Chains A and B, each alone.
Chain A
């Protein structure tokens, strides 16, 4: 294996989970996320020489993000923008009686709470959803998020606070404390 490929594998491949997580949250389906991440990686490999002194993770995530948005744009054009919310809603609307057979009640409660939070994030418009995912789940710095989303840091911060306000309104006091 040549040096460049080795470098790529050492620097970029380790961020596959972060790449997949972002794509999955943006596209909201497994197949789309898989394809987008693979495309993004091939693109990243092609443009690997452009990565100089930057951190590999935000650089890669910016490519993943672009790939996802162009996919979303295409879906919208073709008019096949699938609305996944309903499907997910019904999947989550499991009544305790059906699902809890044998399961401790706490487990079920935890599962419902998880679904509720996932759903609230999923319903955010994508520019708000991505800052939440990048900040809270991937723990990127504001500057890195700015690099990924290709906007100034100030915009990242205002989007974050707007996203949090929307989530708070939707989750409407997360019972008791967080």
Chain B
């Protein structure tokens, strides 16, 4: 990739439209999947008599295979959890929380674009005061805050918007293991960043592209310095 490609690439990333799925579509797909899922579950429960022998046989093989896959998967997960470091487990927890916040209706507990509303909301709910930054002037308005539970402790989740994308920023006191400089990773297609400053650790997760997340992290970390 030569320099001209880099320029073009940056131009497209910054300017081309990334179409966002309409929320009704999300709801419709959710509903259809739930419907199909429960229909499937019902199918496996009974009505074996009405299934042609070949299909019944296949179904049992499938169930057998599914069982084996399930057992292997849980074994692998157990191994992975045991082998994985704290960092990895936290990254997964952070990502899970991000995904959950997008799936349900529960994205924010306190809905406000004003940091002077969001910050005080956490006092009395947490034994620390998470720094809340206003990035509205950078085109990244605050959407609100949420109390979450991660790594066996309640944590602050700050929700920012970038275009139509949601960015969750989780904040809680840093430990000895927290990296000072931002560490970036991609998990299940999401961009994740972890860093610490002023005794707090920060995790940012979003489906914005890596460059945009880097910029958000830079802005959040930048303003941390007095």
Contact = CB atoms under 8 A, between A and B. Distances in A.
B152 interface: no
A14 B99 contact: yes
A137 B13 contact: yes
B133 to A, nearest CB: 24
Given A10-B99, A14-B190, A45 B36 contact: yes
Contacts of B137: none
A13 B4 contact: no
A72 interface: no
A57 B188 CA distance: 8
Secondary structure at the A interface, as helix, strand, loop or mixed, is helix
B66 A21 contact: no
Interface stretch (A36-44, A73-81, A146-154): A36-44
A34 B33 CA distance: 15
Interface in A92-136: 113-114, 117-118, 121, 132, 136
Contact of A17 (B5, B20, B28, B32): B20
B29 A13 contact: yes
A4 B7 CA distance: 44
A8 B187 CA distance: 16
Interface residues of B, number: 48
Contacts of A9: 30, 33, 103
B102 interface: yes
A2 B40 contact: yes
Interface string B12-35: 111111111110011011101110
B150 to A, nearest CB: 17
A5 B12 contact: no
A132 B40 contact: no
B38 interface: yes
Given A20-B21, A33-B19, A38-B25, A1 B12 contact: no
Given A13-B30, A38-B28, A168-B8, A118 B21 contact: no
Interface in B190-226: 190, 207, 209-210
B172 to A, nearest CB: 24
B117 interface: no
B210 A177 contact: no
B151 interface: no
Interface of A: 1-5, 8-11, 13-21, 24-25, 30, 33-34, 37-38, 41-42, 45-46, 49, 52, 55-57, 113-114, 117-118, 121, 132, 136-139, 161, 164, 167-168, 171, 174, 177-178
16 contacts: A4-B37, A5-B37, A5-B40, A9-B30, A14-B207, A17-B207, A20-B19, A20-B20, A46-B36, A114-B17, A117-B12, A118-B15, A118-B17, A136-B9, A139-B210, A174-B7
Given A14-B188, A16-B21, A38-B29, 12 more contacts: A15-B189, A17-B18, A17-B19, A21-B19, A21-B20, A33-B19, A49-B65, A114-B16, A114-B17, A136-B12, A167-B12, A171-B8
Q: What 10 A-B pairs have minimum CB-CB distances, sorted nearest first?
A: A5-B37, A178-B7, A20-B21, A24-B19, A178-B11, A57-B189, A136-B12, A117-B15, A2-B41, A21-B19
